[in-house]
Amino acid sequence: MNEEIVSSPDKREAYKVLSVWPPQKCHYCDRLTTVVHIDPAFLPDFQPKCALHGLARCPYLNETVEEREAELESVRRFVLWMHAETGRVPLVARMSEVKEIPGYEEPDMEEGEENDEIGWATRYEAPDGVRIDSYVASDYDRFFLYEHGALREQRQIEQVA
């Protein structure tokens, strides 16, 4: 057998997160976004994703450092978006169990269906220096923010004087 024809398991198509211009309509909603995910595991593989729907999750078990950082960056982007895109998120860490999130609300599941949500612990720092320990859960299609032991459903909108 010719060794050049056999494909190596290390030669997989990379999952990528790119910035694009002009803004594109999110794959899941009508929001415009400049972030696009290139995911060879799905068709179409070019998927614009807004901050709410933008989990960057590599479909492979042997994810690269870049793919892992893209996941954490997508969580940061969501937390900042929920806080009117102000402040910063200096800490994001994957949690082993999403059920450990204070105030976590488990989704309604069909009998026998498993909860596939994943979670992260984050710290948000407001422009005035106030710090909030928050948690993010995702069902892969969208994010959910938990702060002060409760699901935060409304996005903070920056006040214009």
What is the model's pTM? 0.83
Q: Give the dihedral of Cα atoms 155, 158, 49, 32; nearest 10 deg.
A: 120
Q: Give residues with Cβ within 8 angstroms of 3, minimum separation 6.
A: none
> 143 - beta bridge partners?
138
Q: What per-residue confidence (pLDDT) applies to 67? A: 83
Cβ distance 91 to 123 under 8 Å?
yes
Write out pLDDT tens, residues 73-127: 999 999 999 999 999 999 899 998 999 999 998 877 676 667 688 999 999 999 9
User: Which element (helix H / strand E) includes 16?
Assistant: strand 16-25
Helix (H) or strand (E) holding 36: strand 32-38
Q: What count of residues does the chain have? A: 161
What's the pLDDT tens digit per position in 55-75? 988 766 677 888 889 899 999
The first and second tokens of residue 65, run together, are: 């450092």
More confident residue, 22 or 154: 22
pLDDT tier at 142 (50, 70, 90 boundaries)? Answer: very high
What pLDDT is stored for residue 3 in this prediction? 43
What is the rounded distance in angstroms from the CA atom of residue 81 to the CA atom of residue 156?
8
Where does the chain show beta strands of DSSP type E? 16-25, 32-38, 46-48, 88-94, 118-125, 131-138, 143-147, 150-152
* CA–CA separation, 33 and 157 (whole Å): 17
Pair 140, 115: CB distance under 8 Å? no
